[in-house]
């Protein structure tokens, strides 16, 4: 009988499979047809670092040191993020491999940190976050990084800014 469908394992299995398929198509397949995702923005082009540039090496240091466990790189279209700069677009991450958007903000968002501080500030802060960022800062001191790694990391941090067209 038709009203026994919920007791029929065959129908339940097909229903479950259809739901999973819808999820897969919605999250993995459809984005390929969305121009906002498949077209790099001007900001993405700024972040398409040549393989052996200081910024590309700095990005490796950033990932290796786990900066992304405490820092996000994504500005959401919500009031809480309104002071952070332009809202990020999917196309901004076009060349990011892997993406370091992050999920947690133990420290501030770094998507546009390059327009907030100078190189000197970044070096001083990495060496002693408590002195520069405030006594309560729980960011570790990165005194053990080689000068080369720190220079590269700072070059990367300074590159994190919106392309002129994307500016507020
Ligand atoms: C344990 C969490 C933690 C880790 C890991 C961490 N940070 Fe931070 N970071 C913070 C906190 C908290 C602050 C805010 C206080 C301060 O400025 O020190 C901060 C602040 C910053 C700022 C200043 C941002 C602003 O807008 O004022 C920068 C830049 C920064 N961190 C870069 C880094 C980099 C690069 C790394 C990796 C080498 C890193 N952080 C690792 C917690 C962390």
pLDDT at 2 over 70: no
**Beta-carbon neighbour count of residue 142 at 10 Å?**
18
Q: Is the CB of 108 under 6 A from ligand 1?
A: yes
- Cα of 102 vs centre of ligand 1, distance in Å, is 13
Cα 143 versus chain centre, distance: 25
Among 115, 108, 102, 103, smallest CA distance to 138 is for 108
- Cα of 44 vs centre of ligand 1, distance in Å, is 23
CA distance 56 to 69: 19
Tokens of 72: 């996000």
The pick from 70, 112, 113 for probing ligand 1's pocket by mutation, whose C-beta has the most ligand atoms within 8 angstroms, reads 70
The pick from 83, 107, 116, 119 for probing ligand 1's pocket by mutation, whose C-beta has the most ligand atoms within 8 angstroms, reads 107
pLDDT above 70 as % of the chain: 96
pLDDT of residue 167: 53
Preceding peptide of 98 cis, ω within 30°? yes
CA distance 107 to 83: 15
pLDDT of residue 24: 96
Are 166 and 43 in contact, with CB atoms under 8 Å apart?
yes
Q: Mind listing the pLDDT tens digit for each residue in 108-163?
A: 999 999 999 999 999 999 999 999 988 899 999 999 999 999 999 999 999 999 99
pLDDT of residue 23: 97
């Amino acid at each position: 009988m038709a009203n026994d469908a919920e007791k029929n394992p065959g129908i339940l299995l097909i229903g479950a499979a259809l739901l999973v398929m819808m999820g897969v198509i919605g999250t993995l397949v459809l984005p390929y047809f969305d121009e906002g995702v498949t077209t790099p923005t001007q900001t993405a082009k700024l972040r398409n670092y040549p393989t052996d540039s200081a910024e590309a090496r700095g990005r490796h240091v950033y990932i290796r040191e786990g900066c992304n466990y405490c820092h996000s790189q994504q500005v959401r279209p919500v009031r809480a993020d309104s002071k952070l700069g332009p809202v990020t677009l999917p196309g901004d991450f076009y060349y990011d491999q892997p993406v370091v958007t992050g999920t947690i903000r133990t420290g501030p968002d770094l998507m546009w940190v390059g327009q907030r501080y100078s190189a000197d500030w970044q070096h001083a802060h990495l060496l002693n976050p408590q002195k520069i960022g405030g006594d309560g800062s729980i960011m570790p001191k990165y005194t053990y990084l080689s000068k080369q790694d720190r220079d590269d990391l700072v070059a990367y941090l300074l590159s994190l800014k919106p392309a002129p067209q994307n500016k507020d």
